[in-house]
Structure formats: structure tokens, C-alpha cells
């Protein structure tokens, strides 16, 4: 694992400087990112979006001196072959800004953020409208950049919210992102699922990895059942630790084989026994290129799904 030696105060100041400069960036899929960066006029960053969004190499004179100074203080600038590059990206969700790993995300401890994050937050935002009473104790399992935890904390400012992850780099960035987005009750905590946290929760949310990754990178690899294994573990952990009346909100990707959703077939008896629940396909066909990879020979599509389960009071 690479170092997580960010200076959090300097990284916070960098985020504030980006916001003051009117910086915004919507992070795209890796395939789109490669295509756009492969254009002849995209070899070098010319502005903040090129540096912190598109992860392009840049020359010192391309950035305001104060921004480059903050990057150096924060420990998020690298130099190679005479070019400078940011080692983090910054992405927008509405008015909020989130630091995460620079492109491409090949490192074992990369902190991923992309179109799945936007689908996750959009579904989460809709579902939060129906959470009554407001949750008092919340955990985002595999929180990554902390986007889910932070969005919940912004909606429910009195809640205690844990951004839980086993990736120390993710925890470092989530802690800075919580400060940057003025959600002081978000606590970045190491936890393998819920094993390192105590007590019950009124709300458990998660956007876990769900791809069969040959390199088994933690931010991508979802385990067995064609990548649904980790999602299954999260459902089990949540059902055990939800308070009566508590809610699980899970965004994941499911491999569909011959029209069958093996993940839903597996969890349905457990949900029926303990919960009132719904399962919605948000997008019927994501990561189509993955179907060419080993382990997907029988898969006809990967669907993005949103599971909402409320544990019964009795």
C-alpha cells in the first residue's frame, strides 16, 4: 500500500481554494476519460479542470502560485520527466466537492469515484425523503471518498455518521472531504464491514465493489457470485445490526444470467423474513465491456440496482 501522508489542513485549504475559484468537474467513466485525454489538444493541462479533473500533466506556470504551493504542502503533486501532475482528483456533486484518486486508478489503495457515485447519490437523495423518523446513527460501509456519508450528514445534521472503510487512503480523504463540505459529525473509521463498530444503526448504506477483477483490487473486486459476494455480506451484516425500523440502502451491480438475478434470489428469503423491501433496476446495462472478461461468459448484462429494506419493528 502506498503512503497516505497527506497534510489534511493543506488539502482542506486546497479544496477551499478550488471552490473559491469556481471549480467544478463531473467525473466520467475510465473509457471516456482515456478517449478525451487522447485527443491532440489534451496532452497538457491548461487550467484547474485539466489538473484536478482530467489528471493531465501540467507545467508550473499553468497554475496560480498559491494553488501549486498548497498542492506541495498537501503532498498531492508529483513530478516525472519534467512534468508535474496532481495525485488526487476533485469532483463535484451539486455544490459539494470531493477529493479522490487521480486517473488512472491502478493502485491497490485507489479511492474510486465515477458515474456509479452519481447514481448512488441520486438514489440516496430520493430515498432520504422517506426516512422517518430521521436516523440518529448511520454507517456507510466501504465509504471511499465519503460521498454517501457526507450527503446523509448534510441532510440529517444531528445524526452520528460513520464513513467506514478498510482503505486508509480512503479514510484520510473522507475525513478531509467531511471538513471541506461542513459535515463535522462524519467520522472516518476503519471497519471491515461492521466488525470494528459497535451497536445498532438506524441507517446502513453502501456502494460496494461488484466487478470480478482479475487483479482483485479492493475498490473493484466484489468477490464470488460474479462479483455480488461482497454485496451479499453487506446485506447480512446490515440485517444483523439494523435497529428495529432501521433501513438498508444498497447500490450495487448485478450480473444477469438468462434473465435471472442470482443475488436477489439468494437474499429474498432473508429480506422477506425480516424486512419490508423493494429492489429497483436503475440502469439495465452498465460496464458492458466487462462481459468480454473471464468469469462473465454466461452473463448477458450487468444491471445497476437499488435495494431498500426497512427492518420490521416486530
Q: What is the pLDDT of residues 234-246, one digit of tens each?
A: 999 999 999 999 9
Q: What is the pLDDT of residue 104?
A: 92
C-alpha separations of 285 from 116, 292, 300, 303, 306 in Å: 12, 14, 9, 5, 14
Q: What is the pTM of this model?
A: 0.94
Over 90: is that where the pLDDT of 226 sits?
no
Residue 197 has pLDDT above 90, yes or no: yes
284, exposed or middle or buried, with CB in 10 Å at 0-12, 13-18, 19+? exposed
Backbone dihedral angles phi then psi of residue 33, each to the nearest 5 degrees: -60, -45
Catalogue the long-range contacts made by 17-23 (C-beta closer than 8 Å, 24 or more residues apart).
17/66, 17/67, 17/70, 18/48, 18/52, 18/67, 18/90, 18/97, 19/97, 19/180, 21/48, 21/67, 23/48, 23/49, 23/52, 23/90, 23/92, 23/97
Residue 68 pLDDT more than 50? yes
Stronger pLDDT, 5 or 136, i.e. the higher one? 136
Per-residue pLDDT, 217: 67
Residue pair 153/132 in contact by the 8 Å Cβ criterion: no
Residues 6 or more apart in contact with residue 283 via CB below 8 angstroms: 119, 303, 304
Peptide bond into 36 cis (omega under 30): no
CA-CA-CA-CA torsion sign (114, 116, 120, 123):
positive
Please, how many CA atoms are within 13 Å of residue 117, restricted to the half-sphere of its CB? 27
Among 70-74, 172-176, 200-204, 253-257, which is the least confidently predicted range?
Answer: 253-257
More confident residue, 105 or 150: 150
Query: Are the beta carbons of 95 and 120 closer than 8 angstroms?
Result: no
> Where do the CATH 3.40.50.150 domains begin and end in the chain?
115-311
Q: Is the pLDDT of residue 3 over 80?
A: no
More confident site: 228 or 77: 77
Average pLDDT rounded to a whole number, residues 106-110: 88
The average pLDDT across 66-76 equals: 97
- pLDDT beyond 50 at 178: yes
C-alpha cell at 50: 485539466
- Going by pLDDT thresholds of 50, 70 and 90, the confidence category of residue 231 is very high
Residue 7 pLDDT > 50: yes
Cα–Cα distance between 161 and 140 in angstroms, integer? 8
pLDDT band for position 287 (cuts 50, 70, 90): confident
Instruction: Return the percentage of the chain with pLDDT > 70, whole number.
Output: 96
pLDDT per residue over 254-268, tens digit each?
999 999 999 999 999
d(CA 12, CA 16) in angstroms, rounded, equals: 6
CATH number for 115-311 (one of 1.10.260.40, 2.130.10.10, 3.90.76.10, 3.40.50.150): it is 3.40.50.150
pLDDT at 2: 42
pLDDT band at 213 (very low <50, low <70, confident <90, very high): confident
Q: Determine the 3-state secondary structure of 137 from DSSP.
A: strand
pLDDT band at 61 (very low <50, low <70, confident <90, very high): very high
Average pLDDT over residues 117-129: 97
The torsion angle over the Cα atoms of residues 103, 106, 112 and 115, rounded to 10 degrees, is: 60
1 pLDDT more than 60? no
Write down the pLDDT at residue 198.
97
- Confidence class of residue 21 from pLDDT cuts 50, 70 and 90? very high
What's the pLDDT at 221? Answer: 62
Confidence of residue 222 (pLDDT cuts 50, 70, 90): low
> Which range (87-96, 192-201, 221-230) has the least confidence?
221-230
DSSP bridge partners of 138: 161, 203
What pairs with residue 301 in β-bridges? Answer: 256
CA 37 vs. chain centroid, Å, equals 23
Amino acid at each position: 500500500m502506498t503512503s497516505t501522508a497527506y497534510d489534511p489542513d493543506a488539502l482542506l485549504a486546497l479544496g477551499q481554494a478550488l471552490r473559491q475559484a469556481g471549480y467544478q468537474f463531473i467525473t466520467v467513466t475510465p473509457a471516456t476519460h482515456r478517449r478525451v485525454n487522447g485527443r491532440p489538444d489534451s496532452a497538457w493541462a491548461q487550467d484547474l479542470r485539466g489538473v484536478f479533473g482530467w489528471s493531465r500533466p501540467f507545467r508550473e506556470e499553468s497554475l496560480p502560485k498559491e494553488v501549486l504551493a498548497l498542492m506541495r504542502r498537501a503532498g498531492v503533486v508529483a513530478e516525472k520527466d519534467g512534468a508535474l501532475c496532481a495525485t488526487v482528483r476533485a469532483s463535484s456533486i451539486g455544490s459539494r466537492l470531493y477529493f479522490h484518486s487521480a486517473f488512472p486508478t491502478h493502485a491497490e489503495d485507489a479511492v474510486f469515484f465515477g458515474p456509479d457515485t452519481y447514481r448512488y447519490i441520486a438514489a440516496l437523495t430520493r430515498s432520504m425523503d422517506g426516512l422517518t423518523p430521521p436516523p440518529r446513527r448511520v454507517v456507510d460501509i466501504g465509504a471511499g471518498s465519503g460521498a454517501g456519508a457526507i450527503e446523509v450528514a448534510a441532510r440529517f445534521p444531528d445524526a452520528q455518521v460513520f464513513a467506514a472503510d478498510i482503505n486508509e487512503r480512503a479514510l484520510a480523504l473522507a475525513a478531509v472531504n467531511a471538513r471541506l463540505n461542513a459535515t463535522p459529525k462524519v467520522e472516518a473509521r476503519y471497519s471491515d464491514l461492521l466488525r470494528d463498530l459497535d451497536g445498532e444503526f438506524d441507517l446502513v448504506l453502501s456502494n460496494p465493489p461488484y466487478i470480478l477483477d482479475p487483479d482483485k483490487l479492493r475498490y473493484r473486486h466484489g468477490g464470488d457470485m460474479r462479483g455480488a459476494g461482497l454485496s451479499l455480506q453487506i446485506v447480512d451484516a446490515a440485517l444483523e445490526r439494523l435497529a428495529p425500523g432501521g433501513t438498508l440502502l444498497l447500490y450495487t451491480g448485478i450480473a444477469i444470467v438468462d434473465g435471472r438475478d442470482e443475488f436477489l434470489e439468494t437474499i429474498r428469503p432473508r429480506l422477506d423474513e425480516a424486512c419490508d423491501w423493494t429492489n429497483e433496476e436503475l440502469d439495465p446495462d452498465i460496464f458492458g465491456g466487462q462481459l468480454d472478461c473471464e468469469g462473465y461468459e454466461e452473463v448477458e448484462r450487468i444491471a445497476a440496482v437499488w435495494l431498500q429494506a426497512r427492518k420490521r419493528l416486530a
